[in-house]
A and B are shown apart, each in its own frame.
Chain A
Amino acid sequence: METRPDLYYSEEHEWVRVEGDLAYIGITDYAQDSLGSVVYVELPSPGARIKKGDVLGVVESVKAASDIFSPVSGEIVEVNEELNDAPELINEDPYENHIAVIKMEDTTELENLMNHTEYEEFIEKEEV
Chain B
Amino acid sequence: MVESVKVITTDIKNPWINLALEEYFLINQSRGEATLFLWQNKDTVVIGRNQNPWTECNLNLMEEENIRLARRISGGGAVFHDDGNLNFSFILNRDSYNVERQCGVIINALKLLGIEAVMSGRNDITVNGSKFSGNAFCFRGKNGLHHGTILVNANKEKMARYLNVSREKIEAKGVSSVKSRVINLCEVNRELTVDTVKKAVIKAFEDEYGSKGEHIYFSCNDKDIWPKDSKFREIITRNGSWEWNFGETPDFNISLKKRFNWGGVEIYFKVDNAVVQKADVYSDALCEEIILRLPELFAGTKFDGQELSNKLLKNKETFELEKDAQVKEQVLGDIASWLKDEL
- Which residues of A are interface residues toward B (Cβ below 8 A)? 12, 35, 39-40, 42, 45, 58, 60-67, 84, 126-128
Contacts and interface: CB of A to CB of B under 8 A. Distances in A.
B239 to A, nearest CB: 15
Given A40-B173, A40-B250, A65 B95 contact: no
Given A40-B175, A42-B250, A128-B95, A65 B122 contact: no
B101 interface: no
B293 interface: no
B15 interface: no
Q: Which one of A61, A63, A64 has the greatest number of beta carbons of chain B within 10 Å?
A: A64
B253 to A, nearest CB: 13
B213 interface: no
B257 interface: no
A65 B49 contact: yes
A46 B151 CA distance: 42
A114 to B, nearest CB: 15
Interface in B116-139: 122, 136-139
Contacts of B48: 60, 65
A41 B20 CA distance: 23
A40 B138 contact: no
Interface in B216-274: 250, 273
A39 B75 CA distance: 10
B95 A39 contact: no
Contact of A40 (B50, B99, B144): B50
B141 A65 contact: no
A60 B49 contact: yes
Given A39-B75, A60-B175, A64-B139, 18 more contacts: A12-B141, A39-B175, A40-B174, A40-B250, A58-B49, A60-B48, A60-B49, A60-B75, A62-B122, A63-B75, A63-B99, A64-B74, A65-B50, A65-B76, A65-B139, A67-B140, A84-B173, A126-B95
Nearest to B122: A62
Contacts of A65: 48-50, 73-76, 136-139
A45 B173 CA distance: 16
B139 A66 contact: yes
A65 B74 CA distance: 5
Interface of B: 48-50, 73-76, 94-95, 99, 122, 136-141, 144, 173-175, 250, 273
Contacts of B94: 126
A87 to B, nearest CB: 9
A67 B137 CA distance: 12
Given A40-B250, A65-B73, A84-B173, A60 B95 contact: no
Contacts of A60: 48-50, 75, 175
A62 B76 CA distance: 8
Contacts of B250: 40, 42
A35 B97 CA distance: 13
Contacts of A45: 273
B110 to A, nearest CB: 23
Contacts of B50: 40, 42, 58, 60, 65
A35 to B, nearest CB: 8
Nearest to B273: A45
B176 to A, nearest CB: 10
Contacts of B75: 39-40, 60-61, 63-65
13 contacts: A40-B174, A58-B50, A60-B48, A64-B74, A64-B137, A64-B139, A64-B144, A65-B74, A65-B75, A65-B76, A66-B138, A66-B139, A127-B95
A58 B50 CA distance: 9
Contacts of A64: 74-75, 136-139, 144
Q: Which one of A39, A61, A65, A67 has the greatest number of beta carbons of chain B within 10 Å?
A: A65
A39 B174 CA distance: 8
